[in-house]
Amino acid sequence: MTSIDLSADAARAALAPLRLDLADDEAVDRYATAIWCQLVEPGDSAAGRVVATHGPAEALVRLVAGAAFPGLSAREAVAAQKRWMPRLAPRGVTDAVRIAAARGVSLVVRGDPAWPAQLDDLQDHAPLCLWVRGDLSVLSRLQPSIALVGARAASGYGDLVARELAAELAGDGIPIVSGGAYGIDGAAHRAALGAGGTTVALLAGGAERAYPAGHTQLIDDIAATGLVVSEVPCGSAPTKWRFLQRNRLIAALTTATVVVEAGWRSGSLNTAGHAADLGRGLGAVPGPITSPGSAGTHRLIRDYGASCVTGADDVRELLGVATCTAARPGEGRTDDSTRVQDALSSRVGRHAAEVARRAGMAVDEVQPLLGMLQLAGVAHAGVDGWRSTAGRG
């Protein structure tokens, strides 16, 4: 029978390259979670249920002992053990951790301050952990954020629209999330970086290396200011299944998904489906009716109720972020009050300091303008901060 050492000493030794300061039980749970990450493919709901019920360490003990798993049928349990046990090799975890440490990749587990709670909406299909390279604080700053996805073989039209949307939204402080691929993904990431904004790439393989290899510099640039994320251990290769499962993370991490350009059977429609299932906002950019590359986006608008996106203001509406359409002091020109209103949300309260940060202004400049916007009826002060009243009826 396969055995595994889940003592605190073994856990600390395996995780040592990451230089973590953990209590004994925390070290054991993190080590056990990393082992589970080796055992299962992304989206394995049986593993999600087992780990949620017993915790990662106790679930491993039960697996090795061949014990029953309450919550799984006998048939499910047998099938699960057959696919998990052949991968039970602690050496795989130590190799993944060694690669992670060498490439500056962190291991984030549920319960960590950086864990993005919106992923829990995936329930049994939620990732067991995340391997992330870059600024960990970005994980807690993705509400609101937008996923911009689309065809790898993008047309000039799709590339232009992706760049314009990403640049304007990222310049306004809205993080741009995509999959790091050629085409629409790459255009969105590059435009966000060019605008000085935040962008996140979700990879289907290990977070330590780019896929495709031609995007190595782009992925490194993303990691330098934003975040590169994967749910599979470092050293893992991307597969067709992992690409499809990666799409559910893109949809779950973000407030809304916009498909910029997609053919009738594009993988981007898979991301759109996850967004719809999760109750996230969904938008699609129309294209020429003669273009096969826009057949998928037209399908989303016609058959699945996706919002028609023709510019950044349409995306802001999906996100519940204020636009510049309401009457305000200085109507007809872009002035400081416009910047302040653009920094407000109708959905989330923001204190003056956060509004100032988003507007790129000083707090003492923002406070009187907030008062003026409240008098004009386009902003409201509540216990949780300031909100835009745009869209209230």
- Over residues 211-243, the pLDDT tens digits come to 999 999 999 999 999 999 999 999 999 999 999
Q: Cβ neighbours of residue 73 under 8 Å, at least 6 residues apart?
A: none
Would residue 184 count as lying in a domain?
Answer: yes
Residues 286 and 181 in one domain: yes
Q: Are residues 166 and 299 in the same domain?
A: yes
**The pLDDT value given to residue 322:** 65
Residue 269 placed within a domain: yes
359 and 232 in a common domain: no
Q: What tens digit of pLDDT does each residue of 188-209 get?
A: 999 999 999 999 999 999 999 9
Please identify, among 96, 126, 142, the residue that sits at the C-terminal boundary of a domain: 96
Q: Domain for residue 281, yes or no?
A: yes
Instruction: Indicate the residue among 45, 80, 96 that finishes a domain.
Output: 96
Number of H helices, E strands in the chain: 16, 11
> 76 and 150: one domain?
no
In a domain, 84, yes or no: yes
Residues 280 and 146 in one domain: yes
Q: Are residues 155 and 69 in the same domain?
A: no
The answer to whether residue 153 sits within a structural domain is yes
272 and 185 together in one domain:
yes
Q: What is the pLDDT of residue 2?
A: 62
Domain membership of residue 121 (yes or no) is no
Q: Read off the pTM.
A: 0.81
Residues 228 and 82 grouped into a single domain: no
Classified as helix, coil or strand, 58 is helix
| Per-residue pLDDT tens digits for 19-29 | 999 999 999 99
| DSSP per-residue letters across 98-149 | HHHHHHTEEEEETTSTT--GGGGGGGGGS-SEEEEEE-GGGGGG-SS-EEEE
Q: Which of 96, 124, 144 is the last residue of a domain?
A: 96
Q: Which of 20, 21, 17, 55 is nearest to 36 (CA)?
A: 55
Residue numbers of the domain that contains 39: 8-96
Residues 89-95 have a mean pLDDT of 88
